[in-house]
Structure 1
Amino acid sequence: MMKKELGVIDLMMASVTGMIGSGWLFSAFYASSMAGPYSIFSWLVGTGIVAILALIYADLSSRVPMAGAAAGYPFLSNGTVAGSLNAWSLFLGYASTPPLEVIAAISYLSFLIPNLLNSDGLLTPAGILLAVGLLIFFFALNATGIRNTSRFNNIVSYMKIAIPIITSFFFIFTIFSIRNFTLVGTVKPEGIFTAVPGAGIAFSFLGFRQAVELSGEAKNPQKTVPLAIILSVAVASAIYMIVQIAFIGSLQWGNIKPGDWSALANSGYSSGPMLVLASTLGLGALASVLLFDGIISPLGTSSIYQTTTARVSYRISEMGFLPKRISALNSRQVPIYALIFDLIVMILFVLPFPSWQSLVSVNSDLTIIAYMSGPVSLAIFDKYGVASKGFRLPALKILAPIGFALSVLIVYWSQYPTTLYMSIIALVGLALFVFSGKNPLKDLSQGIYIVIILAILPVISYLGSYGIDLIPFPLDIVLTMAVALGVFYIGTRSTPESVSQVEKLSFS
């Protein structure tokens, strides 16, 4: 059994570290390029959706705290088909995050060591080798135990909170133009929604899950985990909103036509938006701080994600979807074989996705696909009397289906054909179900809702305003929400035997 050593501050800082990583360094820039001044609304949409999901998982963690919790909930509520699809998507979403953060850190390090990136902003062979080396370093840190990892993350987290706030106020009080907020140009309102997955807004917030995954190692988890989740989302949302406002108001157009927001994506800002902006404004000292933070902040996030990815792999192994050896603990009560397995997968992610933006949308979609199951699991646990021992979601019968529908919308906003690719990748997770050797007919009926939504989403996406526009905006949004609510109802009709055994299980 894993040691229960983590308090509220440890858990909150783990979530803050997961949320304030490369997102603040890049997401405001990419959101601006997709939605211009409307990007402020993109953050409001993203905050609202993630806040609902965070509250849902806060309730879940107060009912069933365990290591790798998000991987275990659908397995308990909807059986092994739902469990395998969720586990696969969740694992890929987690395992792709440390490489993504390492790539972000190397992008900033390239200002000091130029040969790490090529002219297209992609990792060179030297950059790839450095990325692999950093992943191995954090593997070694995690192997020493959760307490050492937590101490490192707590130190980094205080810096993660301070530097974005200080930077934003420097920008605002140096050069800030209200005129930039009136330059709409060719930006369309639909960009508000595509920026949520595409600019990394969803990715930036999904770090709240760190406290959920570490709940099996928390002291008094029914109370500490929900509080840590709520506090971390509040802190991160305030920071990101300030950063976005500061970036838009302080943006210097240079050779770009004012209002041509889409041109930003291929401008000189793309290599390190905050650092380039600080240099342009003549803030040399701040630029040096940003260079340091641009390297350290993503590395802190990479470290905590290696920690929680191992817990997800541990839980997947415990459920029978991976070899039992993966869940073995070493003398320090660390799932060492899970760490080794995860490290190999993380290194493989560096190779086909050698840039931050090429990986961020894939990461967000896979994780959101996995998190769709949370609202369904909560509704089933509540239906069958799995009691909350701490935080309880208010208006559960309303917010749970809304949370599911909003999760579906985030994937929908990724646009066709991304929705098709993500559905195919997620459905490959059925291979884990085959590996587990469970009863296919019974479990398929209980987990069919995930298969249905993954099959329907690409079709609506192709026909909707982000595809051939046969179903125009906003009717496509209304249709997607309606379908999602119907699928939620199908999912909550599950009556697996495992639900009645939830409170009797030992969640190590």
Structure 2
Amino acid sequence: MSFFSNFTRKEDPAVYQDKDSHLARVLEVKDFLALGVGTIVSTSIFTLPGVVAAQHAGPAVALSFLVAAIVAGLVAFAYAEMSAAMPFAGSAYSWINVIFGEGFGWIAGWALLAEYFIAVAFVGSGLSANFRGLVAPLGIKFPNALANPFGTDGGIIDITSVVVILLVAFLLARGVSSAARVENILVVLKVLAVLMFIVVGATAIHAQNYVPFIPAHRVNPDGTQFGGWQGIYAGVSMIFLSYIGFDSIAANSAEAKNPQKTMPRGILGSLVIAVVLFVAVALVLVGMFHYSDYANNAEPVGWALRHSGHEIVATVVQAIAVIGMFTALIGMMLAGSRLVYSFGRDGMLPKWLGKLSKDNLPNHALATITIVGVVIGSLFPFAFLSQLISAGTLIAFMFVSLGIYRLRPREGKDIPDPAFKMPLYPVLPFIGFLGALAVFWGLDVDAKIYALVWFIVGIIVYFCYGMRHSYLNKKD
């Protein structure tokens, strides 16, 4: 077969339905809401509002969160329809494989793989840093060799990051139901901590801190934009990382009860909850102190509470925030393992990754994402890789938005007619694509370069292994 024929050959959706039928359908709407909120409302809600306000948008950081939420919402509509019509493990990878072809599916899946690998490392490293900061007042201090990544400030390995990633892997290896129960409890705690900050922080708001709401535009010394709509746009690209967690819900759609209703409600519901919490935190934070006070502040929420006389509340919120980071780790490792399983299931990576355990769990794939997450999170400086999370995911978002045009003609034929459909078709899918493209364009040059390098590596892997070992190739 020609390269083009290989690249565009499509998988039969009935094959995926059969392959994924061994995964137990045990997740309900409440589980997906907890999974989505737990992944979206993560470390970033306690850090990004202050950072973006100081660097780019001032009090208008709330508008940056709203604009980012609108773009994420448009893509979430597409995700909801796709996951209702094709509740397969692997989300965008499997969907694009069915509607565009194997090569396009591989590109989308490879882009998402960057998100999951690095997100696991990101949350593990963030949890480690916050945990060490929390226990420091108790006189507990980790030696640099066990506190920092290799080659950073005398570090050899971030041992806390290693331990928490291994703990979550052990939990997930016992089954989705056990993980969902823990996730539900931790998400409730985390949302309560956010609400506690909003209520207590609202008592310390000073109206003058909102004036002017959109500061005058200027260029920062480092060449980035501040103020005006330019600053709000710069903030959108930085903030969008906060909303990408709903993708992790779709990756687990093969384990959903009644996915026709469960998936749209879980995806869209968790995003709505997250938007309300993000905007509320941003408005309270910039109202408590002038936005410039949050410059270079890694913990603006805790800092604002302490400096407004609420030390005990600050400690409680930060403690729950550290515990709550487990929810994001559970979500990312769960979704990432299902994506790696999908690659092995289709022969795009070694078929060992697509094997299920005696309990019908993809634990080989889970072990792989655990090992990679440990290596990246504990041995490599994270700043070099962090923006790949947004870049890789936005590429997949663009594929899924355009994929609605190829999905609709097949619904009710070889693909079931879903109970939920993206509204205002055919206009809204294209607007969603343009929105994701605009956010991608706003990422800094380094992020685009890293995305290009990751893309080239993915193409090499596809040519050298995936295209030749694909089960579609053997079928042909």
TM range (shorter): 0.7 to 0.9
Please report how far the alpha carbon of residue 387 of structure 1 lies from its aligned counterpart in structure 2 after TM superposition: 4.1
**Quick one: percent identity of the two aligned structures?**
22
Q: How has the CA–CA distance of structure 1 residues 285 and 376 changed in structure 2, closer, same or farther, with 3 Å as cutoff?
A: same
Report what 1:36 is aligned to.
58
> Are 1:213 and 2:234 counterparts?
no
Report what 2:17 is aligned to.
none
Report what 1:195 is aligned to.
235
8 A contact 1:63–1:222 mirrored in 2 = yes
Amino acid aligned to 1:10: D
| Separation of aligned partners in 1, 2:116 and 2:73 | 19
Please report how far the alpha carbon of residue 395 of structure 1 lies from its aligned counterpart in structure 2 after TM superposition: 1.4
Give the aligned CA root-mean-square deviation in angstroms.
2.5
Q: How has the CA–CA distance of structure 1 residues 222 and 436 changed in structure 2, closer, same or farther, with 3 Å as cutoff?
A: same
Match of 1:433 among 439, 462, 472: 462
Q: Per-residue CA shift, 1:318-352, capped at 9, x if unaligned?
A: 22211111011112221111011111211232156
**Matches for 1:119-158 after TM superposition, within 5 Å:** 125=155, 128-158=158-188
8 A contact 1:26–1:273 mirrored in 2 = yes
Q: How has the CA–CA distance of structure 1 residues 352 and 374 changed in structure 2, closer, same or farther, with 3 Å as cutoff?
A: farther
Please report how far the alpha carbon of residue 127 of structure 1 lies from its aligned counterpart in structure 2 after TM superposition: 6.8
The alignment of Structure 1 onto Structure 2 pairs a total of residues equal to 427
> Are 1:346 and 2:384 counterparts?
no
Q: How has the CA–CA distance of structure 1 residues 170 and 405 changed in structure 2, closer, same or farther, with 3 Å as cutoff?
A: same
Q: How has the CA–CA distance of structure 1 residues 287 and 126 changed in structure 2, closer, same or farther, with 3 Å as cutoff?
A: farther
Q: Per-residue CA shift, 1:245-292, capped at 9, x if unaligned?
A: 0111112x5xxxxx6x4x7443xx22x221121111110221121221
Amino acid aligned to 2:237: P
Match of 1:381 among 393, 402, 407: 407
| Separation of aligned partners in 2, 1:53 and 1:244 | 23
TM-score (norm 2): 0.84
Report what 1:492 is aligned to.
none
Report what 2:8 is aligned to.
none
Q: How has the CA–CA distance of structure 1 residues 419 and 117 changed in structure 2, closer, same or farther, with 3 Å as cutoff?
A: farther
SS where residue 100 of structure 2 aligns? helix
| Separation of aligned partners in 1, 2:449 and 2:460 | 18
Greater shift, 107-116 or 420-429, is seen at: 107-116
Q: Per-residue CA shift, 1:214-240, capped at 9, x if unaligned?
A: 110111101111111111111110010
| Separation of aligned partners in 2, 1:293 and 1:195 | 27
Please report how far the alpha carbon of residue 4 of structure 1 lies from its aligned counterpart in structure 2 after TM superposition: 0.6
8 A contact 1:139–1:343 mirrored in 2 = yes
8 A contact 1:18–1:207 mirrored in 2 = yes
Report what 2:393 is aligned to.
367
Report what 2:23 is aligned to.
2
> Are 1:282 and 2:309 counterparts?
yes
Q: How has the CA–CA distance of structure 1 residues 126 and 300 changed in structure 2, closer, same or farther, with 3 Å as cutoff?
A: farther
Please report how far the alpha carbon of residue 14 of structure 1 lies from its aligned counterpart in structure 2 after TM superposition: 0.9
8 A contact 2:127–2:161 mirrored in 1 = no
> Are 1:404 and 2:442 counterparts?
no
| Separation of aligned partners in 2, 1:82 and 1:24 | 33
8 A contact 1:106–1:127 mirrored in 2 = no
Report what 1:76 is aligned to.
98
| Separation of aligned partners in 1, 2:115 and 2:178 | 25
| Separation of aligned partners in 1, 2:148 and 2:304 | 21
Amino acid aligned to 1:398: V
| Separation of aligned partners in 2, 1:319 and 1:265 | 47
| Separation of aligned partners in 1, 2:246 and 2:450 | 26
Q: How has the CA–CA distance of structure 1 residues 439 and 3 changed in structure 2, closer, same or farther, with 3 Å as cutoff?
A: closer
| Separation of aligned partners in 1, 2:379 and 2:288 | 34
8 A contact 1:181–1:249 mirrored in 2 = no
Q: How has the CA–CA distance of structure 1 residues 238 and 359 changed in structure 2, closer, same or farther, with 3 Å as cutoff?
A: farther
Q: How has the CA–CA distance of structure 1 residues 56 and 148 changed in structure 2, closer, same or farther, with 3 Å as cutoff?
A: same
| Separation of aligned partners in 2, 1:171 and 1:318 | 49
| Separation of aligned partners in 2, 1:190 and 1:203 | 19
Greater shift, 284-293 or 138-147, is seen at: 284-293
> Are 1:164 and 2:185 counterparts?
no
TM-score (norm 1): 0.79
SS where residue 190 of structure 1 aligns? helix
Q: How has the CA–CA distance of structure 1 residues 23 and 134 changed in structure 2, closer, same or farther, with 3 Å as cutoff?
A: same
Report what 1:104 is aligned to.
126
**Matches for 1:250-329 after TM superposition, within 5 Å:** 250-251=288-289, 261=292, 264-266=294-296, 269-270=297-298, 272-329=299-356
Greater shift, 18-27 or 122-131, is seen at: 122-131
Match of 2:76 among 42, 54, 63: 54
Please report how far the alpha carbon of residue 148 of structure 1 lies from its aligned counterpart in structure 2 after TM superposition: 0.3
Gaps of 5+ in 2: 1-21, 219-225
Please report how far the alpha carbon of residue 432 of structure 1 lies from its aligned counterpart in structure 2 after TM superposition: 3.3
Q: How has the CA–CA distance of structure 1 residues 372 and 353 changed in structure 2, closer, same or farther, with 3 Å as cutoff?
A: farther
| Separation of aligned partners in 2, 1:122 and 1:275 | 22
Q: Per-residue CA shift, 1:159-203, capped at 9, x if unaligned?
A: 2222112201211112433334427264233221222232xx212
Q: How has the CA–CA distance of structure 1 residues 80 and 433 changed in structure 2, closer, same or farther, with 3 Å as cutoff?
A: farther
**Matches for 1:464-475 after TM superposition, within 5 Å:** none
| Separation of aligned partners in 2, 1:283 and 1:388 | 53
Gaps of 5+ in 1: 254-258, 444-496, 499-508
